[in-house]
Amino acid sequence: MLAVDVVAFQRHQMSSEMLPAFVETSNVERKQDLSEDQESQKPRLSKDFEPISKRQRKKLIKQKQWEEQRELRKQKRKEKRKRKQLERQCQMESNSDGNDRKRIRRDVVHSTLRLIIDCSFDSLMVLKDIKKLHKQIQRCYAENRRAPHPVQFYLTSHGGQLKKNMDENDKGWVNWKDIHIKPEHYSAFIKKEDLIYLTSDSPNVLKELDESKAYVIGGLVDHNHHKGLTYKQASDHGIDHAQLPLGNFVKMNSRKVLAINHVFEIILEYLETRDWQEAFFTILPQRKGAIPTDKACETSSHDKKSARVEGELDSDSSEEENSRNKLDSPPEEKQDKENSTDSTVNSIPH
């Protein structure tokens, strides 16, 4: 019995001595496995890998910040929408007395005058001028929509480069209101006796607008390369023509050819004020150097008077100089004269 206990005790002692060594080896193996797993999880860098530059790092930081602030921006947009909504409500309440834009629009009195932009010169313009024509048409449309006396607006011979440019850059033109856009020539649906072509080359000068007529503006942006073309076309088609009474009221430093939208806006202004001079000076840009003709006459007469006065002063000064020269002449001349008389006297035979 004693021998069995001794043997068991020895076995237990051996196992207790071997246990720390086993635990130590198992821990070492586990660490090795973990290190291998970590190495396997690390991205393997290729030989051609280059470190991130400072600029790229800044971009990444900004992108991260932008993504983090997405919710904040969303909240700010919501607050902005609510604020605008409150402002609109306050404005509607303040305009409840009838001064709001919609009520003003209801008081508009439409004119029966027809105003046509003739777009049949498409082939004579380069793309740059086509784009300018498009912008001028946009301006005419906007001004007519805002005018207290809008005209019957027509856009004729619409097609070619102009239509293509409008389709590409202004797709909303198909939804324009209070305008008649037609691919046909204006002569196809308006009587010849109702037409008056507005051209600066015409010898006829408008005195007033007849609202039963249809006035045509040439849709040509050519920087005066085709001078007299609209006048020739009107004459060839047997259409009445005239020019705005610009020279009767305005003196300009530049030529009298106006942009399409300027002619359009002058007519709208005249329909409202019935005063050509006020219409011209309200619409004409300052770069034209326009001044009223009566002031131009005053300045010219003033210039003439000043020139006359200067001439008189110059003549007076020249006379004074001559008299001064006579007074300042030396007495030698008198002695010469006396000598000459003496010689003549001596030369007379006694």
- Return the DSSP state at 186: G
Quote the tokens at residue 257. Answer: 């050819």
Residue found by looking up tokens 């408008």 in the block: 206
Helices 260-273, 127-146: crossing angle, 10 deg rounding: 10
- Measured between alpha carbons, how far is 242 from 287 in angstroms, rounded to an integer? 25
Assign 289 to helix, strand or coil.
coil
Distance (Å, whole) CA 280 – CA 271: 12
Provide the b/e sequence for 182-217 (b: ≥16 CB within 10 Å).
beeebeeebeeeebbbbbbbbeeebeebeeebbbbb
Among candidate residues 129, 194, 201, 222, the one labeled active-site is 222
CA 8 to chain centre: 107
Residue 266 · residue 283 · CB < 8 Å: yes
| Tokens representing residue 253 in the block | 């430093």
Task: Tell me whether residue 201 is one of the annotated catalytic residues.
Answer: no
Active site residues: 222
